[in-house]
Each structure stands twice: as structure tokens, then as C-alpha cells.
């Protein structure tokens, strides 16, 4: 069932209630107080005998600051070369100190820097200590910590990701086998057209409904929920998109997914200083399907190393304690590394947090501290259970008596933080704040409301449409194995399998395919099909083995660039389609593009290469439809069919190449023959698959676009088929 309606689950609270918490996190390391009321960063970089120090300063005093003076002593062993400042600031050097002065500071100071030249060739470590003073409603001065820079150490070859024009946050709540995903799209600049947001559903869950504001169209197809709008609300923020699932019957220890989005930028800068098309995605949402949890995702790749890159955290009430879990994108590694993981708890969502849970990976200590307002510092540490409980898992169990007597069910605000104090590089590594947002809808912990759970349980009990079937995929192939952190649950049997299955020769004639409008609106592939669709002439064959049907095959003799729909002979749990190769009635390069694969039908069209005119004459195409799962043919040959969701790109476009690994459920005796094809058309750009490294246990696959396209391709579902090599006949 699909709904287009305003979500009423979460009412946005005042953003101001959260600002104190976020400002505290952005400014403070463990144990530091709220003073000084600013964020300051001095970042050195070395090249060709010179050190460039870049400044960033943001005041946190209501009403702004005035007469802001930043004094930086000249590091020993250097001489001053030059300074650079924006129009609002001046820079001066008196022979001992470099002074930056801003008379009125209403916005962050950026673009200020100074350059020094190394004069002592034997010296490698250069140290300075900035001193800052200011006037205003809260005047003061502060001597900042020392900034040391070792030019003998390597520079960090990493830069933070470019800011996106859409901030995409996601969270989840689960209770009583009801799982609700929330997606929060927020525009951060410029107009966004043709926004597509997708959420692949974890395997084994049952889709119940999708809800969105009236400006969005929601759709469900092939295990993916989609939300589409022609233009995001110009005001920037919209009500959350909601996906409702049932986890009843799921045996996997954890469920993992992520949301992703693609859109077009509009305006004079599009195609010049900003890309015409852009995309983004959330971090992984790691949920235990039968717990009572609140889970919040954090973007992956916002710090240079995955061992402290937080991808999500979960909160679970266990009776007498609050269980907090942080998941990292990569393995944390053995104890002894200078990693610190924290979680801040703000019980009233006002001002700064009152409690912090701390795990020190260097010595394994796990404890909680309360903020002492009178003394303006953290109270002594109180040890708690938890620590590094898995390759990518940090956890705390905090008794409620250490949280000021907080009672189960009470809402609060929380933020995670990870710090890497490695001295391997010549400058400090950035910290990871999870999530990096001030949106109170994301930061506030609140159990799934009882009325929501009750209504969705009732919906699950009376589900009478095809969408209410357990989702067999697609799997999130590039997600870490978070399930390894938990006891292994019994494996679910394949959706459709049989010890021995054969596909006999064609004996039945499939009805002539007709164009059937999809029951759930999804983004249309390009080109848009015309109103009048030529009827393809099939020469089909079909399986007829009762209760052992593996799939069916057929042929279409009039496929063009217009979208056409094929009605299947039966309904499948998870059909995977392979339609290739094309005949050659026209010489222009083209591929067969699949779209809208449903249990009883699928659509397809011919997509020409980007340098062609897009229109294509009728071609003949053969196809095979197979039920996903592991099969054994009559002669003993093994066949495995599956799907995965990926954005892994190939080609010469300037994006990092990333192959997606696929692991077979059953190992082959030798490397099998492998076929793959894109099953969706979420991103209308020309695309096909590439494969490599086929072994008896798996292979790698990626998407390939045209070479001239610079932006990554959107997430698509890829179908794959692996079969034991050899010769023989299916069904004679």
C-alpha cells in the first residue's frame, strides 16, 4: 500500500534547543569546558621550504563579537613572509607576532592566512601558541593550546568531501517487529529539480507502506522504495519521508541499508562552477530487527580513516540501563591506538550536554562522566560495562542512576564523536561528529509511538497486496558485515529453490506483451515512452514444470527506444531478467535497458549511447527470467541468481573507482560463467555492467557510463547469474 500524505509522526522542535549541544561538540574535546565562546582552528601546511598557516574563527556569542584580535607568535626557526586577509580584517607583523584584527565579527572569519619561511634547516618541529581577545556582550581573552607542526612527517593526503546542495539525513526506529525509516532531505543552496530519493529495503523485511508530503510521489519496486519530486521545497526543509516495514520472520542479526539521492542543479552556475547533476547518500543504518531501538546514520567518508569513521549509532533501553552503540565504517583495530569514542547525552535538549560516555581504545577504559556546572568541569569517571565489542562496534551500558535518575521512555538529545590522535602526520586529524547536523528531528531520541506501532501491526496482519511479501533483496553489497558482531541466526531458506530443476523446451505460447502502466509511480527512464507503444511480437517459450519452475524465456521482435512491458506467465518472488544481445538492424551503439521489474512483469527499451540521436529502429531481443536463489540442474550443474544495489562506477570519469564484491551462497567447483545486467532505470544516463576477478566463491561488478560523464551514476539494482561451465541441455 502506498500513501501520499503529510507525515505526522514527528513534530519538529525548535532548532535553538539543539544549538548548545552542537556548539559544545564542535568546540570541545573530552574534559574541556564551554569556554572560550568560539571555534578556532590554525592549520599549517608545508611546501618548498615554507609553512602556510590558515585560520578559521567562528564566534559563539549572541549579538556577535567586536575588536577580535588574534595574536600568533612567530615560530622559532622561521621568518615572516606575508599575510592574507579578507576585506573585513587586517594583518600586521611587529617582528615577533602576527596579529589579525576584525573590528566587527558577524560571520565566520575565513580566508585569513600567513606564510613563514624555514630558516633553520636542522629544525623540523615548529610550535606556536595563539592568544585571542575580544569585546562584546561577553568580553574576554584566551590562550589557546599549542599548535605543533613536524615538517619531517608526511602530509595527510586527504581533503574533506565537497559540500552537497542537499543534506540527506536518515534515522530508524524499531519496536515490536515494526521498523520505520525516516529520511530528512534539506536543501542547503540553490534550486534542486527532479529529486529522486531511494531506500533499498533489507532482505527479509515486509514492505507495509510509504508516506511523504504531497509534493512527493512514493513508489515501491523490486525491493526499493522511491520518493520523487519535480522540485524540493524552496524553503529548504521538508517533512520527513517515511518507510514502514515489518521485521516479523527476519532471522538476520542485523539489517543494513542506506538512503541515496540524485537531482539536477538549476541556475547560472550549473555546469560552470557546480555540476549539472549531483548525488549524495547517507551512512549505513544498522538495525537489530527484533530490538526496541532508535538508530541514526552518519555520512561515511567525512574523516580520512575508516577505523574512526562513525557510520551510525543506536540507542536501546534495556530496563535499568541505556545501551549506546557506535558503528564504524572500517575495523577499529587492536587496542593501543590513540582513538577516543564518545557519546554526549543532553536530557533536556537545552544548552550543553550533562553527560558523556567515553571509551579510550588506547587502554580499554569505558566510563561515564557528569558535567559539574558549579565547578565548570567534568566529574570523576564512573566505570560502566561496554567497550570495543566487535571489529566495528563500540558500546556502553549506562545505568539510569548515572544519568541523573532518567526514566525509560523519556526523550533526550544525543550526539556521537570519534577522535583519532595519531601523530603519524604533520597535522592533527579531524574529529568525526555523528551526525553532523543541528536538526532536532534527527538528534532527539524518542521511542516509536504506541499508536504508530499499533496501526502498522494491524496493517501487517491484514496485508493483502503483492507489496506485503517479504523482500528478497537487493542486498547492500558494499556494506560491512555488521552481522558478524552478533550471534549468527539460522539462515533463511531461499525464496525459491529445489534440489533439481529443469527448464523444458518451449511448449506454450506467451500472451502478446502489452504496455501496462506501473501501479506504483517511479522515475521514468529516459527517453520517456510515447503514448502509443508499438506491440512487440514475441516468440516465447515458458516453463511448465509444476511447483519446480525456475523461470521462463522469450523473444521480442519489435523492441525500440520506446518503453515496452512484458507480462510474465507466472508471478515470481524475486525475478531477475537478462535481455541481451540486440540484433543489428541499426548500426548505432545501444544497450537493452530494463525498468520496473515486478513479480509478474517487466519493462524494457533500447538505450543508445550518449553520442547518438536516441531514436532506434526495431530490434529483436531474447530474454530469460530466473527466480533468485541457488539451483541445481538435472545434470548436477550449479546455478545461482541474485541481485545487489550499487553505485560502483567505471570508465574514465574523475570519480574513485570502486568495485562491488559479490559472494556466492554456495561455492562452485571452479570459476563459473557469469552474466550481469542493470535491472533498474533510476538514473536515466546510459550505463552497463563490467565484471572482473571471477572465482569459485564470487566476483566483482561495477557500473560503466560514458567516458565524458564526470558525476557518479546513481544507485541501480544489478542482476547476476552464475552457472557451472560446460555443455548440455536444459530440459532436452
Please write the tens of the pLDDT for every residue from 534-580.
Answer: 333 343 343 333 445 788 888 888 888 888 888 888 888 789 999 98
CATH of domain 166-456: 2.60.40.740
652-678 average pLDDT score? 79
Mean pLDDT of the chain: 78
What share of the chain has pLDDT > 90, as a percent? 33
Q: pLDDT digit string (tens) for 133-188?
A: 999 877 888 898 888 888 988 888 887 787 788 889 999 999 989 999 999 998 87
Q: Are 218 and 7 in contact (CB under 8 A)?
A: no
Which pLDDT belongs to residue 25?
A: 38
C-alpha distances in angstroms, 315 versus 312, 411, 482? 10, 11, 16
Number of alpha carbons in the 13 Å side-chain half-sphere of residue 598: 23
Q: pLDDT digit string (tens) for 283-308?
A: 999 999 998 999 999 999 889 999 99
Q: pLDDT digit string (tens) for 430-475?
A: 889 888 776 778 888 777 777 787 888 887 776 644 444 555 544 4
**Closest CA relative to residue 53, chosen from 133, 140, 141, 151:** 151
Which pLDDT belongs to residue 62?
A: 62
pTM recorded for the entire structure: 0.56
Which pLDDT belongs to residue 5?
A: 36
Pick the more confident residue, 334 or 71: 71
Q: pLDDT digit string (tens) for 601-616?
A: 888 989 887 777 778 8
Judge whether residue 11 has pLDDT over 60.
no
629-645 average pLDDT score? 86
Say how far apart CA 419 and CA 62 lie, in whole Å: 29
Domain ranges of the chain: 37-143, 166-456, 493-732
Which pLDDT belongs to residue 243?
A: 95
C-alpha distances in angstroms, 630 versus 488, 496, 707? 21, 8, 36
166-456 and 493-732 have identical folds: yes
Which pLDDT belongs to residue 154?
A: 86
Judge whether residue 343 has pLDDT over 90.
yes
What share of the chain has pLDDT > 70, as a percent? 78
Which pLDDT belongs to residue 59?
A: 82
Say how far apart CA 96 and CA 94 lie, in whole Å: 6
Q: pLDDT digit string (tens) for 667-724?
A: 898 999 999 999 988 777 888 899 999 999 999 998 887 654 545 677 788 999 999 9
Which pLDDT belongs to residue 179?
A: 94
395-419 average pLDDT score? 87
- Decide which of 3.40.630.30, 3.10.110.10, 2.60.40.2080, 3.40.50.300 is the CATH code for 493-732: 2.60.40.2080
Say how far apart CA 352 and CA 132 lie, in whole Å: 23
214-224 average pLDDT score? 88
Most confident of 293-307, 349-363, 585-599, 708-722: 293-307
Most confident of 21-25, 297-301, 533-537, 663-667: 297-301
Helix, strand or coil, per DSSP, at residue 127? strand
Which pLDDT belongs to residue 709?
A: 52
379-394 average pLDDT score? 91
- 488 CA to centre of own chain: 25
Strand order in the sheet with 50-59: 38-47, 50-59, 109-118, 78-84
CATH of domain 37-143: 2.60.40.1170
Amino acid at each position: 500500500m502506498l500513501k501520499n500524505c503529510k507525515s505526522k509522526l514527528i513534530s519538529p522542535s525548535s532548532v535553538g534547543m539543539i544549538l548548545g549541544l552542537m556548539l559544545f561538540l564542535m568546540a570541545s574535546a573530552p574534559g574541556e569546558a564551554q569556554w572560550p565562546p568560539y571555534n578556532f582552528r590554525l592549520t599549517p601546511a608545508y611546501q618548498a621550504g615554507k609553512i602556510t598557516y590558515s585560520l578559521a574563527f567562528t564566534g559563539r556569542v549572541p549579538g556577535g563579537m567586536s575588536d577580535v584580535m588574534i595574536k600568533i607568535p612567530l615560530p622559532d626557526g622561521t621568518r615572516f613572509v606575508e599575510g592574507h586577509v579578507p576585506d573585513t580584517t587586517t594583518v600586521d607583523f611587529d617582528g615577533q607576532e602576527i596579529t589579525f584584527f576584525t573590528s566587527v565579527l558577524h560571520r565566520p572569519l575565513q580566508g585569513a592566512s600567513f606564510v613563514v619561511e624555514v630558516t633553520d634547516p636542522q629544525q623540523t618541529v615548529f610550535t606556536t601558541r595563539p592568544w585571542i581577545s575580544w569585546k562584546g556582550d561577553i568580553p574576554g581573552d584566551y590562550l589557546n593550546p599549542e599548535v605543533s607542526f613536524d615538517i619531517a612527517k608526511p602530509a595527510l593526503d586527504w581533503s574533506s568531501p565537497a559540500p552537497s546542495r542537499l543534506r540527506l539525513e536518515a534515522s530508524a526506529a524499531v519496536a515490536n517487529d515494526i521498523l520505520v525509516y525516516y529520511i530528512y532531505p534539506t536543501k542547503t543552496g540553490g534550486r534542486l529539480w527532479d529529486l529522486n530519493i531511494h531506500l533499498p529495503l533489507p532482505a527479509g523485511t515486509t514492505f507495509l507502506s510509504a508516506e511523504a508530503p504531497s509534493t512527493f510521489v512514493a513508489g515501491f519496486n523490486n525491493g526499493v522504495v522511491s520518493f520523487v519530486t519535480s522540485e524540493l521545497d524552496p524553503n529548504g526543509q521538508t517533512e520527513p519521508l517515511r518507510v514502514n516495514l515489518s521485521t516479523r520472520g527476519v532471522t538476520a542479526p542485523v539489517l543494513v541499508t542506506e538512503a541515496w539521492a540524485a537531482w539536477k542543479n538549476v541556475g547560472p552556475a550549473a555546469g560552470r562552477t557546480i555540476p549539472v547533476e549531483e548525488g549524495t547518500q547517507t551512512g549505513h543504518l544498522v538495525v537489530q530487527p527484533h530490538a526496541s531501538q532508535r538508530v541514526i546514520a552518519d555520512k561515511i567518508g567525512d574523516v580520512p580513516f575508516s577505523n574512526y569513521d562513525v557510520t551510525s549509532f543506536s540507542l536501546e533501553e534495556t530496563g535499568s540501563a541505556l545501551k549506546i552503540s557506535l558503528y564504524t565504517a572500517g575495523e577499529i583495530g587492536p587496542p593501543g591506538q590513540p582513538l577516543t569514542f564518545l557519546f554526549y547525552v543532553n536530557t533536556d535538549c537545552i544548552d550543553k550536554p550533562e553527560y558523556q560516555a567515553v571509551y579510550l581504545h588506547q587502554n580499554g577504559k569505558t566510563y561515564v562522566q557528569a558535567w559539574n556546572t558549579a565547578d565548570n568541569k567534568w566529574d570523576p569517571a564512573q566505570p560502566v560495562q561496554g567497550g570495543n565489542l566487535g571489529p566495528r562496534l563500540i558500546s556502553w551500558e549506562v545505568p539510569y542512576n548515572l544519568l541523573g535518575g532518567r526514566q525509560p521512555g523519556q526523550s533526550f538529545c544525543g550526539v556521537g564523536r570519534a577522535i583519532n590522535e595519531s601523530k603519524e602526520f604533520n597535522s592533527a586529524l579531524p574529529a568525526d561528529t555523528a551526525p553532523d547536523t543541528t536538526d532536532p528531528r534527527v538528534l532527539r531520541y524518542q521511542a516509536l509511538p504506541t499508536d504508530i506501532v499499533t496501526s502498522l501491526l494491524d496493517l501487517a496482519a491484514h496485508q493483502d497486496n503483492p507489496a506485503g511479501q517479504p523482500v528478497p533483496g537487493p542486498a547492500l553489497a558494499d556494506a560491512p558485515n555488521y552481522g558478524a558482531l552478533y550471534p549468527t541466526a539460522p539462515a533463511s531458506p531461499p525464496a525459491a529453490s529445489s534440489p533439481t530443476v529443469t527448464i523444458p523446451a518451449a511448449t506454450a505460447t506467451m500472451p502478446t506483451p502489452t504496455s501496462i502502466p506501473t501501479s506504483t509511480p517511479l522515475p521514468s527512464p529516459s527517453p520517456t515512452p510515447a503514448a502509443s507503444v508499438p506491440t512487440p511480437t514475441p516468440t516465447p517459450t515458458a516453463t511448465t514444470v509444476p511447483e519446480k519452475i525456475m523461470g521462463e524465456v522469450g523473444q521480442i521482435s519489435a523492441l525500440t527506444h520506446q518503453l515496452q512491458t512484458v507480462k510474465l506467465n507466472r508471478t515470481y518472488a524475486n525475478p531477475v531478467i537478462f535481455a541481451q544481445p540486440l540484433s543489428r538492424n541499426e548500426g548505432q551503439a545501444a544497450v537493452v535497458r530494463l525498468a520496473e521489474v515486478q513479480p509478474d512483469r517487466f519493462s524494457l527499451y533500447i538505450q543508445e549511447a550518449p553520442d547518438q540521436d536516441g531514436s532506434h529502429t526495431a530490434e529483436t531481443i531474447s530474454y530469460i527470467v530466473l527466480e533468485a536463489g541457488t539451483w541445481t540442474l538435472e545434470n548436477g550443474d550449479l546455478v545461482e541468481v541474485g541481485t545487489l544495489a550499487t553505485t560502483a562506477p567505471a570508465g574514465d570519469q574523475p570519480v574513485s573507482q570502486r568495485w562491488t564484491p559479490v559472494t556466492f551462497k554456495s561455492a562452485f567447483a571452479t570459476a563459473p560463467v557469469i552474466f550481469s545486467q542493470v535491472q533498474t532505470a533510476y538514473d536515466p544516463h546510459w550505463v552497463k555492467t563490467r565484471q572482473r576477478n571471477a572465482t569459485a566463491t564470487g566476483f566483482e561488478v561495477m557500473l560503466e557510463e560514458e567516458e565524458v560523464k564526470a558525476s557518479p551514476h546513481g544507485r541501480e539494482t544489478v542482476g547476476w547469474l552464475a552457472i557451472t561451465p560446460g555443455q548440455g541441455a536444459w530440459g532436452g
